[in-house]
C-alpha cells in the first residue's frame, strides 16, 4: 500500500500512519477495501422488501379499500346518478376478490428473497472514480528515493556578445578633439 498523500510505500498493510508524512492510513485502507465507498456506522434502516411481501401488502390494501370504495360507489351511483344497485355489489366483489387473488399470486409465484440493491441504470454510482479500485496498477506509484539528476544548465547566449552600453557612444563623442576655428 502506498500513502495517498506522499506516495511512500508502506512496510505493511496494517500500518496505521505513514512513515514519511504521518498521514493516518487506517481510514484510507478502509476506503480502499470498500471500493471508495465510505463505510456506514450502522446498517441502513430501510431494507428493500421482497416481491412476495409487496404482493401480500398490495392485496391486503386492495381488500381494505373495499371499505372505502363501496360506500363511495353507492353514494355516487345510486344516490346521485340513480343507477341500479347491482353496481355497488359488483364493486364490492371486484375489490375483495381482486385483493384475494393478488395475495394468492404473491404467495404462489413471487420470490421470498429481496433482490440485491442495484443502482438504477440512468444514475451514476455514488462512488467517486478517484477511489475506484484499479486492477492494473497500485493506488499510487512508488515515490522516488533519489531525486533525478539535474540537467546541465542552458548556456546563456547573451554572454557571447555583450551589447554596448548606452553611454559608451556619448562618451566617445566627448573624447574627440574638435577643431577650433577662430
Q: Are 82 and 75 in contact (CB under 8 A)?
A: no
Query: What residue ranges do the domains of the chain occupy?
Result: 1-39, 51-109
Q: What is the pLDDT of residue 93?
A: 93
Any residues with CB less than 8 A from the CB of 29 and at least 6 apart, and which?
Answer: 1, 13
* pLDDT, mean of residues 145-174: 68
Vertex 97 angle, CA 92 and 98, to 5°: 100
What is the reported pLDDT for 52?
Answer: 93
Per-residue pLDDT band at 178 (split at 50, 70, 90): low
Tell me the Cα Rg of the chain: 42
User: pLDDT for 76-97, tens place per residue?
Assistant: 988 888 888 888 899 999 999 9
Per residue in 90-149, pLDDT (tens digit) is 999 999 999 999 999 999 999 888 877 655 555 555 555 555 555 555 567 676 666 666
Amino acid at each position: 500500500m502506498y500513502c495517498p498523500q506522499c506516495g511512500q510505500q508502506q512496510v505493511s498493510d496494517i500500518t496505521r500512519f505513514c512513515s514519511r508524512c504521518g498521514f493516518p492510513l487506517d481510514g484510507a485502507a478502509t476506503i480502499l477495501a470498500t471500493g471508495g465507498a465510505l463505510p456506514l456506522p450502522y446498517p441502513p434502516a430501510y431494507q428493500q422488501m421482497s416481491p412476495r411481501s409487496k404482493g401480500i401488502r398490495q392485496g391486503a390494501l386492495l381488500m381494505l379499500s373495499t371499505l372505502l370504495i363501496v360506500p363511495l360507489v353507492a353514494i355516487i351511483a345510486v344516490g346521485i346518478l340513480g343507477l341500479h344497485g347491482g353496481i355497488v355489489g359488483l364493486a364490492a366483489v371486484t375489490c375483495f376478490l381482486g385483493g384475494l387473488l393478488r395475495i394468492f399470486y404473491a404467495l404462489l409465484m413471487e420470490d421470498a428473497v429481496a433482490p440485491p440493491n442495484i443502482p438504477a441504470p440512468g444514475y451514476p454510482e455514488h462512488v467517486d472514480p478517484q477511489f475506484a479500485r484499479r486492477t492494473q496498477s497500485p493506488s499510487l506509484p512508488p515515490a522516488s528515493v533519489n531525486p533525478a539528476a539535474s540537467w546541465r544548465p542552458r548556456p546563456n547566449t547573451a554572454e557571447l556578445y555583450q551589447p554596448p552600453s548606452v553611454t559608451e557612444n556619448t562618451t566617445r563623442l566627448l573624447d574627440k578633439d574638435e577643431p577650433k576655428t577662430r
